[in-house]
Structure 1
Amino acid sequence: MGFYSRFFKAPIIAILAVAAFVLLTPAALTVARAETAQAAPSDNSRVAVDQANPAEQKSLAGKAIDKVKEVAKSAGDILSRVPCRAPKGGAKTMGSLPHVAAKLVAGKPVLIIAFGSSSTQGFGSTSPEFTYPNRLAAQLRRHYPGADITVLNRGKGGEDAPEMMKRLQTEVIDANPDMVIWQVGTNAVLRNLDPAETAHLVEDGIARIQAAGADLVLVDPQYSPAVNAKAENASRMVKLLGKVAELRHVGFFPRFEVMRDWHEGQSMPFESFVVADGLHMNDWGYACFAQLLGDDIIKSVGQIKLGVNVPANVQAYRPM
């Protein structure tokens, strides 16, 4: 745990450094002006000095601004990935994503819709950019720098399959996505809904999404204290969703097993990746989830054999 906490504090330290430089910049500007006034006996002589030494025109304030930019870039690099690994042995392959791969190869825009409840919406994150759909979008754009990739967040807190099916057409299918990432099942567990009925609704939804011509990745519930309190229902839900994904030949991201490995396999306490409500992920949890999901998507896209020359910006999958 010490490794994770120390590493994740790095962006905060960098951001604080940025703030410090910004606060100090006016003071640096004042000092620079005072020193210039004392050193130059007249405006004419100062102009002559400046013209004779153009390399010395950079003020302390300018240097401070340059340092702000440097530190900000460093903070952004740190935030691009987190120290996060997949469960030992690795997850099963997600399968191919032919529609996304074809769009990337053709150089056409790619639209991904993140469909789900509060953990898709981003409850528990400290900023919209730290939600999993935004983190995923940033990762895919870094990996395919020449591609036009959009990830729309269609998460709505408190919902599960019955409510999601009511807005599936208008908020997902009508947008003509190339891929849908459907996170479902958590609220059904918490509300004691029948896992078999949820699985049936999800299967119907998958059929509609496939008929619309989109790739699909199913995401099961999170492993957290609130979900674990309904252990029997949670276990049934996870198994049934995995079965549906297998039967319908769609991608499956085993979030439950990934998060369980954080806690049991990697000895991370729940507070390392879950907020105080015992249910929703924190910034690190969303980052790792998005990162592993993105790695699987990239790997699956790279496995497509289209029989055409792939542009240089459509890169092969590289392990973490």
Structure 2
Amino acid sequence: MTLSWTVRSACCAAIGAMLLAGAPGGARASDASAGNEVAAARPETPPAAPRGVTGKAIDAVRSVARSAGDVFSRVPCATPKDVKLEATLPHVARKIASGEHVTIIAFGSSSTASYGASSPAFQYPNRLAEQLRRRYPKADITVMNQGIGGEDTPEMMARLKSSVIEQKPDLVIWQLGTNTVVKGGDIDATRGLLEDGIHQLQAIGADIVLVDPQYVPATTAKEADATKMVGIIGRAARAMKVGLFPRFAVMKEWHNDQKLPFDDFVIKDGLHMNDWGYACFAQLLGDSIIRSVDQVQAGAEVPSNVLTFRPM
């Protein structure tokens, strides 16, 4: 079986770390030993043989895989009780159902780049890709991470053509708004920029899911601004009939209703999610996409491209 991109990335990262460790000032790979990979041909018990770079890299990959597999063992990733996630993404759904190549682009800032994740295995676009590939093993699915930390909506718009449109995506997951709130930017200007970007993406036939700000200490400290931004993104999604993943409401439910402390899903900077947060976000988003694909495969008539969230 071929290693997935995520595992290969983890392996390469581990190998790179091992090689860097041999640089001046770092610990050399030969300084530590583990395991009894090779037995010496002597009657007495030999000392443990040093692990080579490849052996250590394999151990690192296995460790990441185990960690990625049990991230929900402490707290399960439950579908929010106060919102129901329903996706109708007809373009990407029909392409997956028909076995065509599918390109999904995760577009945004640092939470799309998944700052705070402990390894590539926990970056949300990689988690989403693995979930979709497990569900549709015969599908040809690519998830591209086009997140750049610190960007506001104007900076994203400046690279929309090169980072997104020229890649000819079938689905764009556009995360925005948090940096404008946290940095005190022009919230009102977001609406016009966002609508312009949506028009450009609709012109190439891409399905779109907008992702609003995260509910974390850095945004709750400016709750009025955060609520205003959430409203602007939600109204744009409804007016232009595109998808919306209400991350603010979902994460608020984690904290207020599921009683999860912020430390359970946010790193110490009070802004970015941790491994669990990215994993649960990816899981819920993936579940929505899967429901839409299953509708198409079942022969159901899929309405216009709308991702809705309504009370149970």
Shorter chain as normaliser: what TM range? 0.7 to 0.9
Which of 146, 149, 152 is equivalent to 1:154? 146
3-state SS of paired residue (1:152) = strand
* Structure 2 unaligned residues grouped into runs of 5+: 1-32, 46-54, 301-312
Amino acid at match of 1:78: G
- The residue that corresponds to 2:27 in the other structure is none
Which runs of structure 2 are paired with 1:1-320 in the superposition (5 Å)? 23-26=34-37, 29-30=39-40, 75=66, 78-79=69-70, 83-94=76-87, 96-304=88-296, 307=299
Q: Cα distance 1:273–1:106, how it changes in 2: closer, same or farther (>3 A)?
A: same
Give, in angstroms, the shift of residue 79 of structure 1: 4.4
3-state SS of paired residue (2:116) = coil
Give, in angstroms, the shift of residue 200 of structure 1: 1.9
TM-score, normalisation: structure 2: 0.74
Q: Larger % of strand: which?
A: 2
Dislocated runs of 4+, deviation >6 Å? 71-74
User: Cα deviation per residue 1:250-289 (whole Å; 9 max; x = unaligned)?
Assistant: 1111111111111111111111111111000011111111
- The residue that corresponds to 2:12 in the other structure is none
C-alpha distance in 2, partners of 1:74/1:118? 24
Give, in angstroms, the shift of residue 116 of structure 1: 0.1
C-alpha distance in 2, partners of 1:86/1:117? 25
Decide which moves more: 246-255 or 191-200.
191-200
Contact 1:216-1:251 at 8 Å conserved across structures: yes
- Count the aligned residue pairs: 253
Amino acid at match of 1:282: N
Q: Cα distance 1:231–1:204, how it changes in 2: closer, same or farther (>3 A)?
A: same
Give, in angstroms, the shift of residue 221 of structure 1: 0.2
Q: Which has the larger radius of gyration?
A: 1
Q: Larger % of helix: which?
A: 1
Give, in angstroms, the shift of residue 84 of structure 1: 0.7
C-alpha distance in 2, partners of 1:264/1:295? 23
Give the fraction of aligned pairs with identical amino acids, expressed as a percent: 53
3-state SS of paired residue (1:252) = strand
Q: Cα distance 1:145–1:123, how it changes in 2: closer, same or farther (>3 A)?
A: same
Amino acid at match of 1:106: S
C-alpha distance in 1, partners of 2:294/2:86? 12
C-alpha distance in 2, partners of 1:193/1:77? 36
C-alpha distance in 1, partners of 2:71/2:135? 11
Amino acid at match of 1:256: F
User: Cα deviation per residue 1:172-207 (whole Å; 9 max; x = unaligned)?
Assistant: 001100000000000111122232211221111111
- The residue that corresponds to 1:42 in the other structure is none
Q: Cα distance 1:128–1:199, how it changes in 2: closer, same or farther (>3 A)?
A: same
Give, in angstroms, the shift of residue 72 of structure 1: 6.5
CA-atom RMSD in angstroms: 2.6
Amino acid at match of 1:280: H
